[in-house]
Each structure stands twice: as structure tokens, then as C-alpha cells.
Structure 1
Amino acid sequence: MTNRSVIFFDIDGTLLNHDKELPNSTKDAVFKLKELGHEVAIATGRAPFMFEQLRKELEIDTYISYNGQYVVLNGSELYTNPLNIHSLEKLTAEALENDHPVVFMDHEDMRANVQEHEYITESIGTLKIDMFPSIDPHYYKGRDLYQTLLFCTEGEERQYAQQYDAFDFIRWHPVAVDVLPKGGSKAKGIQKVVEKLGFSEDSIFAFGDGLNDREMLQTVKNSVAMGNAEEEIKEVAKYITKSVDEDGILHGLKMVGLL
């Protein structure tokens, strides 16, 4: 076909339902897109090692991980945007004093700075992945980190946001916050991919549901919010499809004319 498009899918609440299951209709739709000649990619806040099995199941090797900080195109690293380590070291020390543990994350692994903590167990457990961070309080030294998890209750992250202007703080769980490089987003990761692939803005589509999808859905011309999305996310999207549990991906792809 001549009218090829590239479609970016968020994972949690978009490709996967709230039980972290991939609906059959979604899997079938992804493979149909590829049969039609479209490019299919993932855009997620997760680390690459947190969705490796999903990539294999869907045969997807282009992805934006860590909300845009680590981007891979056709299996090869395309773009990285690591955290400022000096600022991270200061934040970690302050967080430790406040009994707010952190988990350091690069493209291969994640390590906690404390032995165990109920907030880490509670929030990581909701991801339903087959791994848990081991302890290494100095994991940030001598390597690039693309995201850090800060564990604190809602509102407590404000004290850090006011002090550390090198970072953005995005909450994804009642006791967990993503710490990202300032201004980093899925939208910037998408820009790197489409520049390399040469797609026009009319041929770019994105599906998402969470707060970390805001910039992506605001920036991509053909943006689709899931029916289960936050209301403020629905407001910035061009289209709204059904919930992930109501074959929302399939419905949305038909709605925008891709299937």
C-alpha cells in the first residue's frame, strides 16, 4: 500500500487491560495493521525489560520507553536522554532522610537504594512483571539512568519538584512517582522515530490513557484516548474510543480508518 502510517500504542490501560492482559481483539488488530503495511510501535513509561514478552508476542521491535528517554528503532538504539546524575544524587540523599525510597533504572535493570519497603512492594506488584528490584544504593554511579522511581504518598512529591528543576515528576501510583529528565516525554521520542522513518504528521497515530500520555496525545495529530482514560486526557485527544476492556483498540483503529 502507498498510504502507510505509523501507530504508537501505550501499554498499561491501552494495549493491556487492568488485569495486565492483552485482549485477543487487540492482538489481532496489531497484526492486521502490519499485514496492511503499517508501522506499529510502543510508547510507554515502562522500562524495556518490563515489556519484553509483550514485544515478542506482538513482534514489535520499535519502541519508546521510559516516557521518551530510551528509544529503539527496529531493534537498535536510536535516542537516549539520561537523568542528571549530580541532581539525582542530591535528591536520593534527601529522599532517604524522608523515608522515601528510590529505584534506579537503566535500559537493562532496576535497583533499589533500600533493602525493602512496603511502597515498593505495593506499586511494583501492580505491574505484574516477573522481576523485582534488588538492592544497590550506588547503582547510579558510572552509568546512564533514564528514570528513577520515587516512592511517596500523593502530594509529597511537590517538595522535590520545587527544588529539582532538572526533573519532571509524574505520578503513576498512589505511592509511586516517575522521575524523568525535565521536558522529556513520549512526544519527543515519537519525534525521533518519525524523523528517521520519514512519516508526515497526517500519517502518525497514537493511543493512550494516562497522565504520561498527555504530551503525546496533544502533539500527535491523530491522537486517540481510550474510553478508560483520565478525563483530562480525553480533553486533549482528537478521538475517544471505547475502553480497553470493550475492544477499544480495534474500535479506535476502525474509527480513524486504519482498519
Structure 2
Amino acid sequence: MKKENIKLAIFDIDGTLIERGKITIEESAVTAINGLRAKGIEILIATGRAYYFIQDDIHQRIHPDFYVTVNGSTVYDMNHHVIHEVPMLLTEVNDLISFARQHKLGIGLKLNDDMKIYSDFKIFTDVYLQGSPKVHILKDYMEAPLLTESDELPKGIFMMGEESLIESAKSFTTDAHITKAYTNAFDIYSRRAGKMKGINVVLNELNLDWHQVIAFGDAANDIDMLEAAEIGVAMGDAPQHVKDVADFVTKNLDENGIAFAIESLMQ
């Protein structure tokens, strides 16, 4: 691990920067991350969240240079301009909406400006928001028809409900990648996307490579970037299979895990 090479720091959000159900970053993490910036290290957020569901605290106190959102399906620069996007396929989106409605599963489509809920609006307000005040982003499309070619295609989908049912949707999708986010909740996005591909867009923009990266994560969809980075940091409360691929396992998020890792590795 060569800290001298590091030019880019990548942070997942949920379970890494911010505890699920909360909306603010630990003060120690803010101080430590801004310390990296003072050394000339660029800051990238890489998340399954759509841009409009990123907690305001991140914009206001971290000021990231880039955002990889919706699991790599949409990439923004520091001016919040889209520099890369990968929409899902129309036929598969409609198949998933029909499937969710048939089995009474929650399904929300992540569009550029809002999230349209096509089944079980209540589960999104009660569970998905996890304390976020941004309920206005959710739009009720429970009675709406399926999408047509003139409609905006989502960059991602969130589906909630019985896990084995959602897993069974893999039998009729080929482009859609279905991955568990947490209990009874799944992220769905194009196989042509993914966090790694979105991050590679940023690396190309900055003319950097993975040997110049330190990455922080806590979940299965962070494993690839933790393995690829020069320094991969797993949170102390991450699952064991995530810790196994990391170069460094830090303390738990609520034990100042981000600050502890940065102080241990980058000072």
C-alpha cells in the first residue's frame, strides 16, 4: 500500500459515510476527508442512491468533486452536470413493473429528477426513505400505464418485498442486474453499468489509475472497488466477506471509523 500515490478517495454512503436511517456525517469524518482534500486528493462519492437522494450534508460539508450514482448508471461532475449515463432497457423495465404489480412488491424507478413509484407507494414512504425528508421526490404512479418509447428510461430500479420472489425475477431479465441492498430490498440496474464502470469514467476524466485510489465501503457492491484500489478500506461493521477483500479494516462507522482509517493510513 503506497499512500504517496493516492490522488483520489472514493466513499460509499450508506453504512460507510452515514449510518442507515441518519442524514448527517460524523464530524470526525468531515474533518478527516477535508484533510485529504487539503493534500490535493480528489473526493468521489460512489453510491446506489440517485443524486437527489444523496444527503444534503454530503453536498454542504464534503463538496465532492465527482458523484457516481445509481450504481454507476449516472456520473456527475462537481458542478452537478451529468457526464455519463446508462439507461435500462424499456422491455425489461416494463416486465419488472408488471411483475411487481402482480406479486404486490414495491417498485420505484430512478429517473433524472424524481423517483416514480409504480407499486406499493407506502413501503417507499415508510421504509425506503430511512429518515430522509425528501418525500417530495417520490411520485405516485401506482395507476400509471407501462412506459412507452417516448418516456424517460430509468437509470435504476429499487424493488422491495419478499426476497425469493424478487430473486426469481432474474429468470426473465438479461440486461438488468438484481442485487440485494438490505433485507427485503434490491437495487436493479443495467449490466452495462456498475460502480466500477462509473468510477472508471472518473479515473479517465482525471487521467488516474486504480493505483492512485483509496476506497471505503461496507457492502457487497463495494467489493470490486476495494479489491481494485491501491488501498481498500472496509468498515468495521461490514460483513466478513467484504472485510476479507480489504487491505485495511477500520473501526465501525459510529466509532469514527472513517477518521481512524485516514489517520492510520494517510498521515
**Which one is further off, 50-59 or 65-74?**
50-59
**How much has 1:184 moved relative to structure 2?**
2.7
3-state SS of the aligned residue for 2:244? Answer: helix
Structure 1 SS opposite 2:241: helix
Counterpart contact for 1:218–1:236, Cα < 8 Å: yes
Distance (whole Å) between structure 2 residues aligned to residue 92 and residue 32 of structure 1: 45
The answer (yes or no) to whether the contact 1:123–1:173 under 8 Å persists in 2 is no
Partners of 1:129 and 1:69 in 2: CA distance: 24
Cα distance, 1:17–1:116 mapped onto 2, change above 3 Å: closer
Equivalent of 2:27 in 11, 24, 27: 24
Can you give the 5+ residue segments of structure 2 that lack an aligned partner in the other structure?
Answer: none
Q: Deviations over 1:90-128 (max 9, x none)?
A: 2211221111131111121101114634x3234213253
- Mapped partners of 1:19, 1:125: distance in 2: 8
Which residue does the alignment assign to 1:5? 7
- Secondary structure of the residue aligned to 2:164 is coil
Letter in 1 for 2:261: G
| Contact kept? 1:71, 1:80, Cα under 8 Å | yes
Residues 1-259 of structure 1 correspond to what in structure 2 (within 5 A)? 5-20=7-22, 21-51=24-54, 53=56, 54-75=58-79, 76-114=81-119, 116-117=121-122, 119-131=123-135, 133-136=138-141, 137-138=144-145, 140-141=147-148, 142-182=151-191, 184-256=193-265, 258-259=266-267
User: CA contact under 8 A between 2:20 and 2:130: conserved in structure 1?
Assistant: no
The 10-residue stretch of structure 1 (130-139 or 108-117) with the greater mean CA deviation from structure 2:
130-139
Q: Are the aligned partners of 2:175 and 2:190 in contact in 1 as well (CA < 8 Å)?
A: yes
Which of 243-252 and 176-185 deviates more? 176-185
Tell me by how many angstroms 1:18 deviates.
Answer: 4.0
Deviation of residue 45 (structure 1)? 0.7
State the alpha-carbon separation in 2 of the partners of residues 232 and 129 from structure 1.
33
Aligned 8 A contact 1:104 1:139 in 2: no
* Cα distance per residue 1:124-168 (max 9 Å; x no partner): 132534225221235854113111111222222221012211111
Q: Secondary structure at the match of 2:94?
A: helix
- Whether the 8 Å CA contact 2:74–2:85 is kept in 1: the answer is yes
Separation of aligned partners in 2, 1:48 and 1:5: 24
State the one-letter code of the partner of 2:12. D
Say if 2:110 and 2:157, in contact at 8 Å, map to a contact too: yes
Amino acid at match of 2:48: G
Please report how far the alpha carbon of residue 14 of structure 1 lies from its aligned counterpart in structure 2 after TM superposition: 0.9
2:54 aligned partner, one-letter code: F
Alignment deviations for residues 190-244 of structure 1 (CA, whole Å, 9 cap, x no partner): 1110111012322111100012212222322321111011111111222211111
Question: Counterpart amino acid of 2:259?
Answer: L
Percent of matched pairs sharing the same residue: 24
TM-score normalized by structure 1?
0.91
Quick one: which amino acid aligns to residue 66 of structure 2? T
Aligned mates of 2:240, 2:234 — CA distance in 1: 9
Q: Which whole-Å deviations, capped at 9, do the CAs of 1:61-93 have from their partners, x for residues lacking one? A: 411000111011232322111111111112211
The root-mean-square deviation of aligned C-alpha atoms, in Å, is 2.0
